[in-house]
Structure 1
Amino acid sequence: MPPKPPYRGVAAAATAAVLLAACSSGSDSGSAGSSGGTAKVAAVIKGLDNPFFQSMEQGIKDQGTAAGITPTVQAANSITDTTGQADRLTALAGQDFTCYIVNPISGTNLVQGIAQLAAQKKTIVNIDSPVDAGAAKAASATPATYIGTNNEAAGEKAGQHMTTLVPGNAKVAAIGGIAGDVTSGARVDGFTKATSGKLQLVQTVAANWERQEALTQATNIMQAHPDLAGFFVANDDMGLGVAQAVANAGRTGKIHIISVDGNKDALTAVKSGGLDATVAQYPYAIGLMGMEACQAAAAGKTLPADVEAPVELVTKDNADKALASTPKPFGTYDDPFKALIGG
């Protein structure tokens, strides 16, 4: 979910011939495997109590089924279980998997385990939340590829749409997640960039990714700014809290709300008019491409260092299409791994 880091492919010593126990060495720098291999994949992701990561797991497993591979997927107990997630990766690192998909809770909590994998010449595929580039470099553990959403671009897309919904110079507010969170900050920054000079951003607050807190914050903002025209909200769960606050104030349809993520409840709310739009990202596609990256590495292909996952603006006009397709994107998107695996 955070912005894309400037990763580059891991060095040959950390990536050559890693996806078969019996494969040969000698691939070029940046190559992530040896030709003709079959991946044996383990994935460590965030908590499966969240539908976002359930969808990510589904993408990993569905692509595994299509490829005749059964990946092992383990998850943290919760979004704050940094130590437990790290322990899971360490345990898996001691097994004979050849490609590891990692979705870290923080930028650094999996670095020690990733360094252990790099020392064993295993392929590391980083999805969704980036490993801290500096910490990874210091540990000689830079992943072979990163696949994730450009969150600033997602915020920009929301801001551009907001300018079509409200009058010029109208007052809007932004509700972010946890103060200092990279994902939240990037989304709000993107929204601010897109609306600068066009709308008045009168207040930005943090609601800790919590629906009830967002409801409370939105209520307070509406009281402080009775002429408010719109809310940008950094995720759908908070967006639904804001929608409830707006409904409680009797202002549904008068105060416009755009959030980010594209979960099913939000898509339904867009269809019914509770939300004006959501910028949908697709954890299913992120997980699927992570699995494809392992397949490509097994075939001796050089992995692209940085792959942007698809996002789509969902409004009432296309909400039915988005709902019918979920958890998959309803439009086309670039997937460089398909060409690498001959898909």
Structure 2
Amino acid sequence: MLQRRSTRTRLAVLAVCGSLSLAITACGDDSGTSGSTASGDVAAVIKGLDNPFFQQMEAGIDAADDNVDVQAAADITDTTGQLDKLTVVAGQDPACVIVNPIDGTNLVQGMAQLAANDVPIVNIDSPVDADAAAQADAAPATYIGTDNLDAGRLAGEEMVSLLPDGDSVALIGGIAGDVTSNARLDGFTETAGPGVDIIQTVAANWSRDEALTQATTLLRANDDLAGFFVANDDMALGVARAVSDVGRAGEVEIISVDGVLDGLKGVQSGDLSAVVAQYPYAIGEMGVHACQAAIAGAELPGEVTAPIALVTADNVDEALEAAPAPFEAYDDPFAALVD
């Protein structure tokens, strides 16, 4: 069991540069890259650093090895740009590459290039489509990510405990059809469904503003709405704003998944009832350890589940103190392979 309490993080770059946009332009180049991959080094290609979740992932990668070249997509829709970055990395003779694809197939072409050169691939957070990877002969050596179904279940258990009388609840997901969002919603429905009245499920495209709009509509149409389950913290904060705007602050339970800093602060302030914290910091750290183990010739487990934890008012101070690292002990099987 490893206790990850390090607060050393590349999020400090934000303090140096003043804002994320300045960090990308002044502390790196304008394409979301942190450098170039030297032959024999580890590289990572992740989603956009416009999202705090992936900022924390980068911080975990850096905590494990600050020589890793992290290339980031421009945003959550930049599938082609992310592939372009992986293609460049693949041409630089890396020893191992960490991939965090925007969707299940957008990086498969670049992964095939890596696999053709026997470069180990470590897939983190968002899974590569297994069939597409197999057809390209580019299967990752391992996958590290959150069990989103379990995260939804944990949220469902908490919602039922907060609303024991079976009150009305609405669900707000990310992009319609998104695998991650659907798994969280399914897990919540599986666990909370028999105990609460789920009146509607809507998509807000991972946007705080869209979640604000959707939640406002739902609240005005349903005077007795008592709770929201929201697929990520950023959208949940939009929901909290909607609840406040209609004069129901403190009356409506809001639970989300992610555990980013703003989400934890939302629990601390009482704007959010709870968050199921997943740990992109730990996922990034374990990704590097997996690459190090692969380079050393170790056989990697096919799949490793990243830690999650329910954060409520009772333990939010502890969670904030440890952030962005987990505040509870967790297993990192790759670290033992490197030692």
Normalised by the length of structure 2, the TM-score is: 0.87
Equivalence for 1:240: 237
What CA distance in whole angstroms lies between the structure 2 residues aligned with 1:159 and 1:173?
12
Q: Which residue of 2 aligns with 1:341?
A: 338
Identity, % of aligned positions: 64
Which residue of the partner structure matches residue 159 of structure 1?
Answer: 156
Within 1, Cα distance between the matches of 2:40 and 2:56? 22
Q: One-letter code of the match for 1:43?
A: A
Q: CA deviation at 1:39?
A: 6.2
Residue 301 (structure 1) aligned to one of 298, 301, 309: 298
1:209 corresponds to:
206
CA contact (8 A) 2:57 2:284 kept: yes
Distance 1:61 1:196 in 2: 40
Distance in 1 (alpha carbons) for counterparts of 2:60 and 2:100: 13
Q: Distance in 1 between matches of 2:270 and 2:143?
A: 35
1:168, distance to aligned residue in structure 2 (A): 2.8
Query: Residue 129 of structure 1 aligns to a residue in which SS?
Result: coil
Shift of 1:51: 1.3
Matched, 1:97 2:127: no
- Match of residue 85, structure 1, among 62, 82, 85: 82
Matches within 5 A, 1:27-38: none
Q: Which runs of 5+ in 2 are unaligned?
A: 1-38
CA apart distance, 1:94: 1.0
Q: What residue identity is the alignment partner of 1:139?
A: A
Aligned-residue Cα RMSD (Å) equals: 1.2
SS at match of 2:156: helix
SS in 1 for 2:198: strand
Q: What's the CA shift for 1:196?
A: 2.3
Separation in 2, partners of 1:250, 1:317: 25
**Equivalent residues of 2:160, 2:166 under 8 A apart:** no
Residue 197 (structure 1) aligned with residue 215 (structure 2): no
Alignment match, 1:6: none
What residue is the counterpart of 2:33 in the other structure? none
* CA–CA separation in structure 1 for the residues paired with 2:279 and 2:296: 26
Preserved contact between residue 39 and residue 294 of structure 1 (Cα < 8 Å): no
- Greater relative contact order, per chain length (Cα 8 Å cut-off, separation 6+): 1
- Deviation sequence 1:130-149 (CA, Å, 0-9, x none): 11101001111100000011
Do the aligned residues in 2 keep the contact of 1:39 with 1:295 (CA within 8 Å)? no
Q: Deviations over 1:244-289 (max 9, x none)?
A: 1111122122110001111111111101111000111111100000
Q: Distance in 2 between matches of 1:213 and 1:45?
A: 24
Give the CA deviation at 1:295: 1.0
What letter matches 1:232 in structure 2? F
Return the alpha-carbon distance in structure 1 between the equivalents of residues 318 and 272 of structure 2.
16
- Equivalent in the alignment of 2:278: 281
8 Å contact from structure 1 (residues 282, 309) kept in 2: yes
Q: How many aligned residue pairs are there?
A: 301
Letter in 2 for 1:159: G
Q: Residue 26 of structure 2 aligns with which residue?
A: none
CA distance in 2, matches of 1:185, 1:339: 33
Quote the offset at 1:219 in angstroms: 1.3
After superposition, residues 137-156 of structure 1 pair within 5 angstroms as 137-156=134-153
C-alpha distance in 2 between matches for 1:212 and 1:312: 26
Aligned twin of 2:320:
323
Alpha-carbon distance between aligned partners in 2 of 1:276 and 1:137, rounded to the nearest angstrom: 42
Q: Secondary structure at the match of 1:146?
A: strand
Matching of residue 51 in structure 1 with residue 48 in structure 2: no
Measure the CA separation in 1 of the matches of 2:76 and 2:206. 11
Amino acid at match of 1:214: A
Task: Point out where structure 1 has 5 or more consecutive residues left out of the alignment.
Answer: 1-37
Q: Extract structure 1 runs of 4+ deviating beyond 2 A.
A: none
SS of the equivalent of 1:229 reads strand
In 1, the alpha carbon distance for the partners of 2:104 and 2:315 equals 35
Is 1:74 aligned with 2:71? Answer: yes
